[in-house]
Amino acid sequence: MRRSTPVLTAPEYSVRVVACSDDHRGWSTAEPVETFGLVLPRRGHFRLVNGGVEQSVDVTQGYAQVPGLDQRFAHPSGGDVCTFVGVGATLWREIVGDRPTSTTVRVDGVTELAHRLLLRTTHDAADPAERLVRTVAAAARTSAADGGGAARTPAARASRARLVMHAREAVLDDVPASHDLVSLARALEVSPAHLSRVFQAATGSSLTRFRNRVRMSRVLARLEAGDADLAAVAGDLGFADQAHLTRTVRATLGTTPARVGRAFGARAA
């Protein structure tokens, strides 16, 4: 079951929040894509076949919609909440250009912050068009086709893709074995070297960096919710202390948690 809530509506673009409560492992029927757009998750994760390409969708990896493709969905881990950014063809080309559009969009911390601020546009005096353009441009900058290493056969490529998907989902679900490479590799019944190599090839990121990226998403969610106790946030999310949290946010976003909190309208200090 899906529930769609409009956030912004204009002649050339629209933004809506889509909450899905589906909980099934099987694939849905094919749904044709009719408009350009982005789907950026805020909570939860699911699986997608987009134009014949299977991928994971979570806070670190969204996807682009391109007219003419078909999509199918599976929700083995329960429901999710995503933002759909629909963009007219002319505006899409003005922002993204004429380069081929990958269906996979890697969402870094900068892109996620732009996404979350876009959803707050109706609560402040910001220009919605400017925030939308920033979000789409940031997502396009990080988009990249899914890799999978140099697997020689389709079966080998599919096996590697499943391995990466299961590793991602273990981290996203905070499975205890996902807290270090060796434990996760043992849980997935592969060697640590193989998991590390395949994950890097498929995502362009080390497993450690992916784990930290997920943790950063949780920081942004807490700041957006108005949590001003940074020491508690740091402790809850596995940082050594508040200073470690501040250094990580500064390195990722180029600013401090306090400033991010103020951008959200909070008073984090």
What CATH number does residue 88 fall under?
2.60.120.10
Q: Is residue 67 part of a domain?
A: yes
Select from 19, 136, 131 the least CA-distant residue to 83. Answer: 19
Select from 131, 35, 140 the least CA-distant residue to 86. Answer: 35
- The reported pLDDT for the residue numbered 130 is 87
How far is residue 37's CA from residue 97's CA, in Å, rounded to a whole number? 14
Q: Is residue 240 part of a domain?
A: no
Q: Are residues 72 and 169 in the same domain?
A: no
Condensed to tens digits (0 to 9), the pLDDT of residues 118-151 reads 998 877 767 888 889 989 988 887 775 444 444 5
Instruction: List all residues 6 or more positions away from 149 whose beta carbon is below 8 Å from its beta carbon.
Output: 157, 160, 197, 198, 201, 202
Q: Is residue 125 part of a domain?
A: yes
- The reported pLDDT for the residue numbered 231 is 94
Q: Are residues 133 and 159 in the same domain?
A: no
Cβ neighbours around 170 below 10 Å, total? 19
Q: Single out the residue in 117, 142, 167 at which a domain terminates.
A: 142
Q: Single out the residue in 208, 234, 254 at which a domain terminates.
A: 208
How far is residue 135's CA from residue 87's CA, in Å, rounded to a whole number? 12
pLDDT at 75 over 90: no
Q: Are residues 72 and 194 in the same domain?
A: no
Q: Is residue 245 part of a domain?
A: no
Query: How many domains is the chain built from?
Result: 2
Measured at the CA of 204, the angle between CA 197 and CA 78, to 5 degrees, comes to 95
Q: Are residues 54 and 165 in the same domain?
A: no
Give the lowest-confidence range in 50-59, 190-199, 209-218, 253-262: 50-59
- The reported pLDDT for the residue numbered 148 is 42
Model confidence band, residue 90 (pLDDT cutoffs 50, 70, 90): very high
Q: Are residues 101 and 194 in the same domain?
A: no
Q: Are residues 111 and 200 in the same domain?
A: no
Phi and psi at residue 103, to the nearest 5°: -80, -15
- The reported pLDDT for the residue numbered 23 is 65
How far is residue 43's CA from residue 204's CA, in Å, rounded to a whole number? 22
How far is residue 59's CA from residue 81's CA, in Å, rounded to a whole number? 10
Q: Can you give the pTM of this predicted structure?
A: 0.76
Q: Single out the residue in 122, 142, 162 at which a domain terminates.
A: 142
Per DSSP, helices labelled H in the chain are 89-96, 109-118, 128-142, 154-172, 181-187, 192-203, 207-224, 230-236, 242-253, 257-263
The single residue listed with the structure tokens 């350009």 is 36
Kindly list the distances between the CA atom of residue 59 and the CA atoms of 10, 42, 70, 187, 253, in Å, as whole numbers in the listed order. Answer: 26, 6, 22, 23, 16
Give the lowest-confidence range in 50-54, 238-242, 265-269: 265-269
Q: Is residue 244 part of a domain?
A: no
pLDDT at 97 over 70: yes
Q: Is residue 188 part of a domain?
A: yes
| 3 state SS of 221 | helix
Q: Are residues 89 and 138 in the same domain?
A: yes
Whether 146 and 53 have beta carbons less than 8 Å apart is answered as yes
How far is residue 269's CA from residue 262's CA, in Å, rounded to a whole number? 9
Q: Are residues 186 and 118 in the same domain?
A: no
- The reported pLDDT for the residue numbered 144 is 54
pLDDT at 91 over 70: yes
Q: Are residues 86 and 166 in the same domain?
A: no
Q: Is residue 226 part of a domain?
A: no
Q: Are residues 136 and 197 in the same domain?
A: no
Q: Are residues 65 and 130 in the same domain?
A: yes
Model confidence band, residue 86 (pLDDT cutoffs 50, 70, 90): very high
% of residues, the chain, pLDDT over 70: 93
- The reported pLDDT for the residue numbered 151 is 52
Q: Are residues 100 and 8 in the same domain?
A: yes
- Domain residues for the domain of 131 are 2-142
Is 213 or 204 the better-scoring residue by pLDDT?
Answer: 213
Is 149 or 48 the better-scoring residue by pLDDT?
Answer: 48
Q: Considering the chain, what is the average pLDDT of its residues?
A: 87
Condensed to tens digits (0 to 9), the pLDDT of residues 154-210 reads 777 788 889 999 999 999 999 999 988 989 999 999 998 889 999 998 888 899 899
Q: Is residue 252 part of a domain?
A: no
